């Protein structure tokens, strides 16, 4: 207990401020929200890339089908 008190006093005298439980919760919440935003961004980029690949593959298939039809005629 005395050591904790000295540590608190020592930190306070260095200009550092200890966070209240509410401040700790707020910091945790900010970190969680930032993490969610990063995950959402990564997932959206992944979905966009997969969609682009599917569209490109379908376009290439249609081009090949059209070219095959042209050689038959």
* pLDDT tens-digit map of 14-61: 556 788 889 989 999 999 999 999 999 999 999 999 999 999 999 999
8, part of any domain? no
3, part of any domain? no
28, part of any domain? yes
Under a CB-based contact definition with an 8 Å cutoff, are residues 11 and 18 in contact? yes
pTM here is 0.53
51, part of any domain? yes
Please report where in the chains the tokens 């020592």 appear, as a residue: 10
Please give the pLDDT value at position 10.
46
By residue range, what is the domain housing residue 25?
19-72
42, part of any domain? yes
Give SS3 for 17: coil
């Amino acid at each position: 207990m005395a050591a904790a008190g000295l540590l608190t006093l020592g930190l306070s005298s260095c200009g550092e401020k200890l966070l209240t439980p509410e401040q700790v919760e707020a910091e945790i919440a900010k970190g969680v929200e930032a993490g969610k935003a990063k995950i959402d961004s990564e997932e959206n980029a992944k979905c966009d890339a997969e969609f682009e690949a599917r569209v490109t593959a379908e376009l290439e298939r249609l081009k090949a089908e059209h070219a095959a039809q042209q050689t038959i005629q």
